[in-house]
Structure 1
Amino acid sequence: MKHRKLLVLNLLIAAGILFATQSCTNAQKQNHENESSMNAEKSVVESDVSVNKAVCVLHPTEGNDVHGIVTFTRSGSDIKIVFHGEGFTPGKHGFHIHQYGDCSASDGTSSGGHFNPENTKHGSASDDERHVGDFGNVEADEDGTIHFEMTDSMISFSGKHSIIGRGIIVHAGEDDLTSQPTGAAGARVACGVIGIAE
């Protein structure tokens, strides 16, 4: 009986030591995983900061025959936007960054609404209150060619205002810059996704 009690006591002690060891191992593993996760996030942030250029190739939505390319280049604390397009109807066309980098819908609606992380009203690119994605209008000449340049201080390559991975839409009509929430610019004639460029 005495031996049996001693055996049970030894088993309980061994189990306690094993449990304590396992707890320490799990804690170390969790700390390592947390550290790895933090390092990964830090790496992503650092890589975002190093982005100096982005590009978007525009493709026509169904029933349209337009194309273009938009580049975004860091210029000090701002970003310079250059858009060259062809095949557009002469006149002004609404030009915006949209929430999603998804052009899978034939009419471009899968790109969602204007990129608006601050939940503000729609406006022109020069307004104090506007969507981050509001760039106003681009204008096609009589040959259907668009060449547009502007510099913007609101968009970014990282953080809450990052445009990387979002969509660009060019509309059939003119953005009136006041109608909410889109400027009444009509159908979406071109769609593209913004990606990091070299």
Structure 2
Amino acid sequence: MTTQLKTVDGKAVADATIDFTGGYATVTVETVGDGTLSPGFHGLHIHEFGRCEPNSPAPNGGPTGDFASSGEHFQAEGNTGMPASGDLPPLLVRSDGAGKLVVTTDAFTEDQLKGPDGSSILLHQGADMPGATEGVDTRIACGVISPASAETSVSTSTSTSTVTTTVAPVPPATVTETTTPPTTSPSPTTTATTTVTETTPPTTTTVPTSPESPTPPAG
């Protein structure tokens, strides 16, 4: 995850990179440009909203100020104590305006920084170290790590519209029936010749024969 920290007028002052490996986050912040940052320690924190807006109101009703809309220091889910999850060591800037910080932490995960509210990283004018008071909460540069989703910054209004549809009755359709008598076509006449062969068994007739009368002897 990378971002560039810029002042209110859009001037880049530092590059920030967050790499996640083996359950740890390595945060690298290195100055760029021509020495815009004053020498000394500058407070460095990850904040709870992914916004970097000049002259903006604080999300919880606090005063308006530069980068105020980035909210308070980031707290990972389940962490309510101090230091906050987003608290990092201060960046030490040399007399020539150059500075670099590399720190490793397990206080947050990549998914947590990419949540619905997003996250940002900010540099402060002063060092939030024990005994430091001047410029501690003056935010001088900001970079969005993960932008806040639209739901966290835009109020959505829901309206209900009622649509009335008038349907005119459709008159019944007129159906005209025309009956056509069936057409009778002459059926072709077919003459079939049937040959019947009848076999009659032979009839045997027996005629009784009278016995022959004896011929009288000649006289």
Query: Residues 68-106 of structure 1: CA distance to partner in whole angstroms, max 9, x if unpaired?
Result: 111011221211111111321000000000111111233
Give runs of aligned pairs for residues 109-148 of structure 1, distance below 5 A: 109-117=68-76, 118-121=79-82, 130-148=83-101
CA distance in 2, matches of 1:131, 1:183: 21
TM-score by length of 2: 0.53
Contact 1:55–1:195, Cα closer than 8 Å, also in 2: no
Q: In structure 2, list runs of 5 or more residues that go unmatched.
A: 56-65, 148-219
Aligned residues between the structures: 129
Query: Residues 126-179 of structure 1: CA distance to partner in whole angstroms, max 9, x if unpaired?
Result: xxxx10000021100111112110111112112xxx123301110000112589
Q: Which amino acid aligns with 2:53?
A: S
Higher normalized strand content (fraction of residues)? 1
19, 29, 35: which one pairs with 1:73?
19
> Considering only aligned residues, what root-mean-square deviation do their CA atoms show, in Å?
2.5
Q: In structure 1, list runs of 5 or more residues that go unmatched.
A: 1-53, 122-129
- Identity of matched residues, %: 27
179, 188, 192: which one pairs with 2:139?
188
Give runs of aligned pairs for residues 1-198 of structure 1, distance below 5 A: 54-62=1-9, 66-86=12-32, 87-106=36-55, 107-117=66-76, 118-121=79-82, 130-158=83-111, 162-164=112-114, 165-176=118-129, 185-195=136-146
Contact 2:91–2:101, Cα closer than 8 Å, also in 1: yes
Work out which of the two has the higher radius of gyration on C-alpha atoms and give 1 or 2. Answer: 2
CA distance in 1, matches of 2:130, 2:119: 21
Aligned to 2:103, what secondary structure does the other structure show? strand
TM-score by length of 1: 0.58
CA distance in 1, matches of 2:51, 2:131: 26
Higher normalized helix content (fraction of residues)? 1
Considering Cα pairs closer than 8 Å and 6+ residues apart, tell me whether 1 or 2 has the greater RCO: 1
Which aligned segments of 4 or more residues in structure 1 are displaced greater than 3 angstroms?
Answer: none
